[in-house]
Chain A
Amino acid sequence: MYSEEVLKKLYADMILVRLSEESLVEPILSGDVKCPVHLYSGQEAVAAGIGAVLNEKDSAFGTHRSHGHYLVKGGSVKEMIAEIHGKSTGCSKGRGGSMHLYAPDKGFLGAAPIVAGTISLAVGAGMASSIRKDGTVAVSFFGDGAVGEGVLYESLNLAALRKLPVIFVCENNLYSTHLHISEIRPNDEIYKIAEPFGITSFRVDGNDVLEVYEAAEKAVEQCRNNNGPVFIETLTYRMRGHVGPDDNIQGTHTDIRPAAEVEDWRQKDPIERLKKYLLENGVADVEELDLIEREIQQEINEAYVFTNDSQLPPKSELEKYVFSK
């Protein structure tokens, strides 16, 4: 029921995100990368499933934890690694860093770390689409923490009112920074916040890439048919700390999630689940999947060579880019 091409793309995208993220662990711990980095490991199915139904003209907006969104939207891995290292060859020429990734030619119109900070930007891109009638869709990725911010509700209202082609994707990984969802919300059914606005909303298993993909297909079809926005809550879990590999800020350890809970989610690893599906259904064999992985690892290794060969932005450019001239 899924084409072989789609299934292999989903697998390759998730591998690309996972291996990129894990490649950053050592540079973060060694201090090569000093700026806070929020790793996406564990949540790959959300980015991959949504990204697979979008084209380059569709726009996507992200958050502080957006390496995955950038990559599945087509952003270059070597420009991302260079950007995180602050090099002038990065996707924002070493000015933005991990939390400000951009790939305008691929429709990734930007990540920003202020929680809920880009949701209304996606609504604006949706308004531009509806004014131009160009059939494009705007996707807003945000986390469960953003559900506490007022601008989300302003955005839902405006998108519903004007039937805008916007897909709101809430990645509920159960923790906003370090607070469990039960500490910050009276109930845990986030998708229901969109219902009073008349927005089609549902919840999916965010660690099942096929379930995410199916939801995304439905959502994008509804948007392209001008039938208004869609809200998808994806239940998922980050396998790394809120920030850095293990919340190890200045030698401290603040990942206080119960070890049993982490282990429980490890058993639901989205990549292992798809791998099992591919093997059991004869879509691919072990050798083929290994080859995909090796090729991607090679691409990432090259990204580090590229990064090491790159320079920091020139000092003379300090005042550049504040205004057009």
Chain B
Amino acid sequence: MPKMNMIQAINLALHEEMEKDETVLVMGQDVGVNGGVFRATEGLSVKFGKERAIDTPLAESGIIGSAIGMAIAGLKPVAEIQFSGFSYLTLGQLEGNAARMRTRSRGQFTCPLVMRMPYGGGVRALEHHSESKETYWAHTAGLKVVIPSSPRNARALLTAAIRDPDPVIFMEPKHSYRAFKEEVPEKKETMEIGKAEIVREGSDLTLVSWGAMFHLTKKVVDQIQSERKVSIELIDLLTISPMDSATINASVRKTGRCVIVQEAQKTLGPASEIIARINDEVLMYLEAPVKRVSGYDVVMPYFGREKMYLPTMERIRRAIEETLEF
């Protein structure tokens, strides 16, 4: 199995799906001739031509609006927004059209498009280029929100997203784009959207995270487990919406303790919903209050102070220890 980083894995998924299905195409700013600012669409223009690797003007609302038109006309556009911070201009199109096309037409129309975009901090940028606003999209019924954490699951989930009959917001943790390589099977692979993955089983505490935070969290867990005898169940959420609370709640029912680590702002981040669903179904199994480690309710700081915002290994460790010792 070849080893590749997340960008290469995303590029692989795009090549594979465009090869398999001629209705699949990519569109966005610089995605064609240039190959994308992060190189995710490299080589697609040469291989599939300008009609399927479409360079568009800088016009986020127009790009997503056109993608919706193409999707309801039977194509499968994968639109790239250069940074997730630019996607706020697409909210009108996604909330106003894509998300509700199926409901509004009672299933006569679907809108099978993917909006891919790099998100998240840790790359020493600035506010729009560093934010984690998955809640915006998850709050919209009719949109699926997927966040991979590794090259292998990025390839499998993007493949699933392209094949999905509903609109999918595919948020790529850009801090993980080139952070590490892993083996990606040569054979095509997909993962089910809407399913969290239990990456490591455990019995004393459930740890839920996603995106770039998942790796930081895993590091802390490795560290703690090398120091003391404790069994932590590690869950990679992978899909923010629809949320797989069945997997999380089954785990919490078993462990009685839960910590959630998110890069998003604290208020109304996905952790809030995870906690609410734990309360709904497994409150009586809890041995300790559920803790969340998150960003703060501020505009993402400029790069010099970025680390003040992001969850750190120390904050995660403290939350785990306090929950274990409660």
Contact = CB atoms under 8 A, between A and B. Distances in A.
Contacts of B51: 130-131
A321 B62 contact: no
Interface stretch (A89-97, A257-265, A279-287): A89-97
B145 to A, nearest CB: 12
A120 B66 contact: yes
Contacts of A155: 62, 65-66
A109 B105 CA distance: 10
A61 B73 CA distance: 12
Most buried by A among B66, B107, B109: B66
A220 interface: no
A12 interface: no
A94 B108 CA distance: 13
Contacts of B92: 114, 117, 151
A118 B97 contact: yes
Interface in A120-157: 120-131, 138, 150-151, 154-155, 157
B96 interface: yes
A18 interface: no
A100 interface: yes
A109 B110 CA distance: 11
Contacts, number: 138
A100 B67 CA distance: 19
B43 interface: no
A59 interface: yes
A109 B70 CA distance: 11
A324 interface: yes
B62 A128 contact: no
Interface in B248-280: none
A176 B97 CA distance: 22
B78 interface: no
A166 to B, nearest CB: 10
A317 B75 CA distance: 28
Nearest to A61: B69
A55 to B, nearest CB: 15
A151 B141 CA distance: 24
B71 A124 contact: yes
Contact of B69 (A94, A95, A120, A323): A120
Interface in B35-82: 51-52, 54, 56-57, 59, 61-62, 64-75, 77
B105 A151 contact: no
Given A93-B106, A102-B109, A131-B75, A154 B57 contact: yes
B317 interface: no
B104 interface: yes
Contacts of A122: 69
A121 B65 contact: yes
Interface residues of B, number: 43
Contacts of B64: 120
Most buried by A among B51, B73, B164, B166: B73
A75 B8 CA distance: 47
A95 B104 CA distance: 6
A96 B106 CA distance: 8
B70 A157 contact: no
A124 B57 contact: no
Contacts of A109: 69, 72-73, 109
Nearest to B64: A120
B165 interface: yes
B13 interface: no
B242 A125 contact: no
Contact of B142 (A120, A126, A322): A322
Contacts of A181: none
A123 B65 contact: yes
B93 interface: yes
30 contacts: A59-B73, A61-B69, A92-B105, A96-B105, A100-B105, A104-B105, A110-B104, A114-B92, A114-B96, A117-B92, A117-B97, A120-B64, A120-B68, A120-B93, A121-B66, A123-B69, A124-B65, A124-B70, A124-B77, A126-B69, A127-B54, A128-B75, A130-B51, A131-B51, A158-B56, A158-B62, A320-B107, A322-B103, A324-B165, A324-B166
Given A112-B104, A122-B69, A324-B164, 16 more contacts: A102-B104, A102-B109, A104-B108, A104-B109, A110-B104, A112-B96, A118-B97, A123-B66, A127-B54, A138-B69, A151-B93, A155-B66, A157-B59, A157-B62, A158-B56, A320-B107
Interface of B: 25, 51-52, 54, 56-57, 59, 61-62, 64-75, 77, 92-93, 96-97, 101-110, 141-142, 144, 164-166, 242
The 8 A-B residue pairs with the shortest CB-CB distance in the complex, in nearest-first order: A124-B69, A120-B65, A154-B62, A121-B69, A93-B106, A128-B73, A154-B59, A124-B66
